Amino acid sequence: MPKTVIALHEVGGALPIPPPLARDAGQALVDTRARALRDLRISVTDRCNFRCTYCMPKEVFDAAYSFLPHAEILTFEEIVRLARMFRALGTEKIRLTGGEPLLRKGIDRLVAMLRTALPGVDLTLTTNGSALKAQARALKAAGLDRVTVSLDSLDEATFRAMNDADFPVAKVLEGIDAATAAGLAPLKVNMVVKRGVNDHQVVDMAKRFRGTGHIVRFIEFMDVGSTNGWRMDDVIASAEIVRRISAELPLEPADANYAGEVAQRWRYRDGRGEIGVISSVTEAFCATCTRARLSTDGRLYTCLFAQSGYDLKKMMRTGADDAAIGGAVAAIWQRRDDRYSEIRTAETSRERKVEMSYIGG
């Protein structure tokens, strides 16, 4: 008899939509810590063709796992409708995520719909790169500005072990080349660093992309979701990553590009580019976080480490108008007080949280 699996999108259930709060016309929308709503991440699918050990470990996301049925996920029209509301509330950047967003059929059509509806918005996408070679030109033609590619190692054995889908490094690199040729550059390349697994590849990754115009961002292994077996002992602090790279390729700090940028910038002293480090574990940046996340089935989450979200899809599908839904988003944001990374403890890290594949990384 197959094992019973609780789909991880059910964690916590939906939170009640709060009543509106007073806000003067023209007053900027901010939360309880004066953080604006500037970035929206939209998960367009909870499915992925990789089984990365820190995100969708195979022992959990196997043949018995219950992914969302198609009728439960947001349609393209619903995504665009919600995106318009977020734009009206001050959102400047929209990132399409997953799961693996390039698995969503017609993803280039969604990009085109968003570009038409939201001229001027910064429209980006994060992918594992497996299908990027085939889709890069269509995505650029549809109006996508840039892509971020996840690549955790250049070493073949290490990369195949981490993606746990026997997928080769070369095909991801081909995807990066195709995206560059299509004009989706400069790219960002994300490397999640885990002690004893791929940390020996940090300097090699920096060398590979130095001078290309692409920016590698080294990400501390985080306790997202409840299935990746996170331990503090497995975390390589960003400060150590910077030291390792700078010992061979001297670095110096660089100013942030904008308020709320999550990656700390470091540039090569010889002028051949830069790297970034994302230090959610050792140097929390909650105080400047401007991100909201929209799950595959239309729930709004105000923190990557949340347990529950607000069901905006239900509001749409039961007839709520744009004013009511936009008002709900504003009320949710005005009450936001998230600061998980600032208060992380051994106990809170073990709490059951929604999975990154459901709300986007």
DSSP symbol at 117: H
Rounded CA-CA distance 288/16 in Å is 26
pTM higher than 0.85: yes
Collapsed DSSP state (helix, strand, coil) of residue 259: coil
Rounded CA-CA distance 332/326 in Å is 10
Q: Is the pLDDT of residue 7 over 60?
A: no
Whether residue 316 is contained in a domain is answered as yes
pLDDT band at 350 (very low <50, low <70, confident <90, very high): low
How confident is the model over 15-30, as a mean pLDDT? 87
Whether residue 349 is contained in a domain is answered as yes
In tens, the pLDDT along 229-255 reads 567 778 899 999 999 999 999 999 999
Whether residue 76 is contained in a domain is answered as yes
Whether residue 294 is contained in a domain is answered as yes
Asked if 163 contacts 52 with a C-beta cutoff of 8 angstroms, the reply is yes
Task: Decide: residue 104, CB within 10 A, 0-12 exposed, 13-18 middle, 19+ buried.
Answer: buried
CA distances in angstroms from 194 to 45, 52, 159, 220, listed in the order given: 26, 12, 12, 7
In tens, the pLDDT along 77-98 reads 999 999 999 999 999 999 999 9
Rounded CA-CA distance 264/261 in Å is 8
CA angle (336, 302, 152) in 5-degree steps: 140
Question: What tokens were used for 134?
Answer: 């085939």
Domain that holds residue 300: 8-13+37-356
- Residue ranges of E strands in the chain: 14-15, 39-43, 93-97, 122-127, 146-150, 188-193, 215-220, 251-254, 264-268, 274-278, 291-294, 299-301, 309-311
Least confident of 32-36, 69-73, 223-227, 351-355: 223-227
Return the percent helix, strand and coil in the chain, to nearest 5: 35, 15, 50
Which string of DSSP letters, residue by residue, matches 84-102?
HHHHHTT--EEEEESS-GG
Rounded CA-CA distance 115/82 in Å is 14
What pLDDT, on a 0 to 100 scale, did the predictor assign at position 230?
A: 64
In tens, the pLDDT along 41-82 reads 999 999 999 998 888 888 888 888 889 999 999 999 999 999
How confident is the model over 130-157, as a mean pLDDT? 98
Q: What torsion do the CA atoms of 283, 286, 292, 293 make, to the nearest 10 degrees?
A: 40
How confident is the model over 309-331, as a mean pLDDT? 97
Omega cis (within 30) before 119: no
Q: Is the pLDDT of residue 117 over 50?
A: yes
Question: What tokens were used for 297?
Answer: 């089935």
Q: Count structural domains, the chain.
A: 1
CA angle (67, 224, 358) in 5-degree steps: 25
What pLDDT, on a 0 to 100 scale, did the predictor assign at position 339?
A: 84
pLDDT band at 359 (very low <50, low <70, confident <90, very high): confident
Whether residue 1 is contained in a domain is answered as no
Whether residue 25 is contained in a domain is answered as no
What pLDDT, on a 0 to 100 scale, did the predictor assign at position 28?
A: 87
How confident is the model over 312-336, as a mean pLDDT? 97
Q: What is the CATH number of the domain that holds 294?
A: 3.20.20.70
CA distances in angstroms from 295 to 147, 313, 322, 348, 358, listed in the order given: 20, 10, 19, 22, 6
Whether residue 59 is contained in a domain is answered as yes
Q: Is the pLDDT of residue 105 over 50?
A: yes
Collapsed DSSP state (helix, strand, coil) of residue 284: coil
CA angle (334, 339, 341) in 5-degree steps: 155
Asked if 169 contacts 156 with a C-beta cutoff of 8 angstroms, the reply is yes
Closest CA to 277 of 288, 259, 261, 293: 261
DSSP symbol at 30: B
Whether residue 249 is contained in a domain is answered as yes
